[in-house]
């Protein structure tokens, strides 16, 4: 029930995901009066779907603590419970991020050895893409959190993305070891000691996009600002590009001729294509879709969830934590 | 002598700036054996230029404290001294940022009531452009610093950009008042009380580019990361765009037809066009050029310096500080 244009975009998104993953099954949590009429328009999806009715919804403005107290029967909470109870393999929501993270943490609990879960996502680079985290779950972090995020990110890149020895960097304002905030230097010192993490040191924000890292780690405050700066810059350039192409008849013709090629660009920088942030470090798969995304974006978030189910991410993390504590 | 391809780009940049500002005069500080042969290639510039010879140069890797101790006769220091002694109206350098800031602060001193200078620059938005600060001078800030940066940024937007009632925002991960770091809320509370600052509250990183603020304030760590994220994203999209246009004969033809319009885009997102960061809050004009810029970029930095000379920025700041302390 969360985000703009729900539950239309969520149901339509599921129907799109079903094309790519014909074995998938769905449970929709929310108001059946709103869900059922839409679901009827997608007969293939309807065949593999259940609806769990509830009228309680977490609002976009609810604080995490309020949502935890008052949202026990909310669509969001019931969906998370379904993962905990083994009735679902993953939960995908485009509702209130703070409430979703708090509830997921409360119900699913973190892995042993991980104090706080982090929000991670994939971001495109010139050569491929990289995992970025934390994107807003932990506004203030200590060095220990950053080290744990590095373990989570590295395990994700290994198990889900199939990168054998992922390069992990810490985001900083310079590459030199004396640069930046004290907690970053403390985290770097700890990471250099970990033999199962391929820590490459500090990385600057402009270098990320050249493909120098597979995983970049930062606190949730900085990560959120960097992610939103990328979104804002991409949108600004798109505005300028549209203006340029529509500025004269000549440029309009140029656009029509170049259109197939420009669709490549559009796909690479389209936020829908990269939608689906992962709550890493929880006993269960919880994926956050952008609230403003469309059905295509919501189907991307479902794809992230299904991809993750196929790999034993948790075992990979536990192994690295055990190695770290025994070393 | 600082930055890539110096002193060629600096001298060529000055000759470009002289076209726009025919009354300008220049003093070049550095190795005369390197400067004079280049200067001879620009006879109009040579007529209005002096060369102050020194072989001592601040290296790109020198720490600020080292540069302060060992760089008393460096080209950078002598150029800053010239501003302090009234022999120059402004200094422009593309050398080591940390050393340049430390020396400028030591020699020029901050305005009364301003504890620390900040680095500011202009960033394009969909509607116009905005002043962003601090971009790296102060990695760790307190609420008082952020309030002073807001005064400096607001005074700059008023006196130099001619915006009568500049909208000032603090960068944060959400607009709601309970969001983000405690020092941001503390700074916001103080700013709401200041009657001569048009404080509009918190602003998110993606909103900046829609033109909601004239001045955005943050600490130097975050500001530096946001600025470099913009640069990296713009460069990445340019790479994708070039790839798209060169992917087929058809798209190459489309590019040729659209080229004049695309130059508009290129100009709007070209870092050279926006080169020239200002050290705000010092008794004297000191402008930092990007080390990797070209002659066109260096001339932009010189333009920023000359624009600033024409306005009484200091008086505008002092007035706001006096109003603030008397209220």
How far is it, in rounded angstroms, from Cα B22 to Cα A208? 42
Half-sphere exposure of residue B118: CA atoms within 13 angstroms, side-chain side: 31
**Is A255 in Cβ contact with B180 (below 8 Å)?**
no
How far is it, in rounded angstroms, from Cα A103 to Cα A86? 17
Cβ neighbours of A205 in B, within 8 Å: 224-229, 232
Shortest CA distance to B174 belongs to which of A221, A195, A320, A300?
A221
B117 neighbors B79 (Cβ within 8 angstroms): no
Q: Tell me which residue has tokens 């994939």.
A: A122
Max CA pair span of chain A = 68
Token pair for B219: 């600490």
Any idea what the Cα angle at residue B321 is, between residues B315 and B324, rounded to 5°?
A: 140
In the predicted model, what is the mean pLDDT of residues A41-53? 97
Residues 6 or more apart in contact with residue B294 via CB below 8 angstroms: B5, B9, B272
Cβ neighbours of B236 in A, within 8 Å: 124-126, 209
pLDDT at B271 over 80: no
pLDDT for the residue numbered A95: 94
Instruction: Report the range of poorest mean pLDDT among A74-78, B102-106, B171-175, B191-195.
Output: B171-175
Distance to chain B for A237, nearest Cα, Å: 8
**Is B236 in Cβ contact with A125 (below 8 Å)?**
yes
pLDDT for the residue numbered B274: 77
| Coil/strand/helix, residue A197 | coil
Q: Does the CB of A259 have a partner CB in chain B at under 8 Å?
A: yes
- Summarize pLDDT for B223-269 with one digit per residue, the tens: 999 999 999 998 888 888 888 888 888 888 888 888 877 777 777 76
Q: Which residue of B has its CA nearest to A183?
A: B140
**Is B224 in Cβ contact with A173 (below 8 Å)?**
yes
| Coil/strand/helix, residue B123 | strand
In the predicted model, what is the mean pLDDT of residues A76-101? 96
Considering CB atoms only, which of B126, B232, B255 is closest to A239? Answer: B126
Q: Does the CB of B249 have a partner CB in chain A at under 8 Å?
A: no
Q: Does the CB of B242 have a partner CB in chain A at under 8 Å?
A: no
- Summarize pLDDT for A209-238 with one digit per residue, the tens: 999 999 999 999 999 999 999 999 988 888
In the predicted model, what is the mean pLDDT of residues A187-191? 95
pLDDT for the residue numbered B116: 93
- Summarize pLDDT for B168-213 with one digit per residue, the tens: 999 999 877 667 789 999 999 999 999 899 999 999 999 999 999 9
B contact test, residue of A225, A231, A249 with most B CBs within 10 A = A225
Shortest CA distance to A291 belongs to which of A58, A28, A42?
A58
Q: Does the CB of B206 have a partner CB in chain A at under 8 Å?
A: yes
Token pair for B114: 């301003």
Considering CB atoms only, which of A125, A245, A260 is closest to B258? Answer: A245
Superfamily for domain range A118-272+315-326: Isopropylmalate Dehydrogenase (3.40.718.10)
Burial class (CB in 10 A: 0-12, 13-18, 19+), B221: buried
Sequence-separated contacts (24+) of A158-161 with Cβ below 8 Å: A158/A316, A159/A311, A159/A312, A159/A313, A159/A315, A159/A316, A160/A307, A160/A308, A160/A311, A160/A313, A161/A131, A161/A214
Cβ neighbours of B98 in A, within 8 Å: none
Query: Which of A170-195 are b and which e, b meaning 16 or more Cβ less than 10 Å from the residue's Cβ?
Result: bbbbbeeeebbbebbbebbebbeebe
Name the more confident of A324 and B116: B116
pLDDT for the residue numbered A327: 46
Helices (H), A131-270: 143-159, 182-193, 220-245, 249-269
Q: Does the CB of B262 have a partner CB in chain A at under 8 Å?
A: yes
How far is it, in rounded angstroms, from Cα B203 to Cα B173? 8
B28 neighbors B40 (Cβ within 8 angstroms): no
pLDDT at B270 over 80: no
How far is it, in rounded angstroms, from Cα B123 to Cα A20? 41
Q: Which residue of B has its CA nearest to A123?
A: B233
Cβ neighbours of B268 in A, within 8 Å: 240
How far is it, in rounded angstroms, from Cα A244 to Cα B76? 41
| Coil/strand/helix, residue A206 | coil
Q: Does the CB of B254 have a partner CB in chain A at under 8 Å?
A: yes
- Summarize pLDDT for A115-166 with one digit per residue, the tens: 999 999 999 999 999 999 999 889 999 999 999 999 999 999 998 888 999 9
pLDDT for the residue numbered B327: 46
Shortest CA distance to B260 belongs to which of A253, A236, A265?
A253
A contact test, residue of B232, B259, B263 with most A CBs within 10 A = B232
- Summarize pLDDT for B14-29 with one digit per residue, the tens: 999 999 999 999 999 9
Half-sphere exposure of residue B31: CA atoms within 13 angstroms, side-chain side: 12
The 10 Å Cβ neighbour count of residue B81 is 19
Please report, for chain A, the start and end positions of each structural domain, with discontinuous segments joined by +.
8-108, 118-272+315-326
Considering CB atoms only, which of A181, A234, A236 is closest to B221? Answer: A181
Q: Does the CB of B230 have a partner CB in chain A at under 8 Å?
A: yes
Half-sphere exposure of residue A166: CA atoms within 13 angstroms, side-chain side: 25
**Is A171 in Cβ contact with B225 (below 8 Å)?**
yes
Q: Which residue of A has its CA nearest to B269?
A: A237
Shortest CA distance to B27 belongs to which of B315, B317, B308, B305?
B305
Q: Does the CB of B60 have a partner CB in chain A at under 8 Å?
A: no
pLDDT at B94 over 80: yes
Q: Which residue of A has its CA nearest to B239?
A: A126
pLDDT band (50, 70, 90) for residue B320: confident
User: Phi and psi dihedrals of B325, rounded to 5?
Assistant: -80, -25
Residues 93-132 of A with CB under 8 A from B: 124-126
- Report CA-CA distances (Å) from A290 to A124, A261, B8: 17, 27, 48
**Is A265 in Cβ contact with B140 (below 8 Å)?**
no
B contact test, residue of A132, A223, A233, A260 with most B CBs within 10 A = A233
- Give chain B's radius of gyration (CA, Å): 21
- Summarize pLDDT for B123-163 with one digit per residue, the tens: 999 999 999 999 988 999 999 999 999 999 999 999 888 89
How far is it, in rounded angstroms, from Cα B95 to Cα B58? 8
């Amino acid at each position: 029930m969360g985000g703009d244009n729900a539950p239309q975009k969520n149901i339509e998104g599921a129907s799109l995901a079903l094309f790519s993953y014909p074995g998938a099954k769905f449970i929709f949590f929310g108001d059946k009066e709103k869900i059922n009429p839409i679901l009827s328009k997608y007969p293939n999806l309807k065949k593999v779907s259940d609806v769990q009715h509830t009228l309680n919804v977490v609002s976009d403005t609810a604080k995490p603590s309020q949502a935890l107290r008052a949202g026990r029967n909310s669509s969001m909470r019931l969906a998370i419970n379904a993962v905990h109870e083994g009735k679902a393999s993953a939960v995908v929501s485009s509702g209130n991020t703070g409430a979703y993270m708090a509830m997921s943490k409360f119900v699913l609990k973190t892995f042993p050895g991980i104090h706080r879960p982090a929000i991670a996502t994939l971001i495109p680079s010139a050569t491929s893409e990289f995992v970025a985290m934390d994107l807003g779950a932990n506004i203030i972090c200590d060095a220990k959190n950053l080290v744990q995020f590095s373990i989570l990110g590295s395990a994700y890149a290994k198990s889900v993305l199939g990168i054998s020895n992922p390069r992990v960097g810490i985001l900083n304002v310079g590459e030199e070891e004396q640069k930046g905030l004290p907690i970053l230097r403390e985290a770097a010192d700890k990471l250099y000691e970990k033999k199962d993490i391929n820590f490459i040191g500090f990385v600057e924000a402009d270098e990320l996009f050249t493909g120098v890292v597979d995983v970049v780690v930062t606190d949730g405050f900085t990560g959120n600002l960097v992610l939103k700066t990328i979104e804002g810059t991409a949108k600004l350039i798109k505005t300028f590009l549209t203006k340029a192409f529509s500025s004269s008849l000549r440029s309009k013709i140029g656009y029509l001729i170049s259109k197939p090629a420009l669709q490549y660009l559009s796909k690479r920088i389209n936020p829908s294509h990269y939608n689906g942030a992962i709550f890493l470090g929880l006993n269960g798969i919880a994926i956050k879709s952008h609230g403003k995304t469309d059905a295509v974006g919501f189907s991307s978030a479902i794809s992230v969830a299904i991809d993750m189910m196929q790999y034993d991410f948790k075992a990979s993390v536990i192994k690295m934590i055990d190695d770290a504590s025994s070393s």
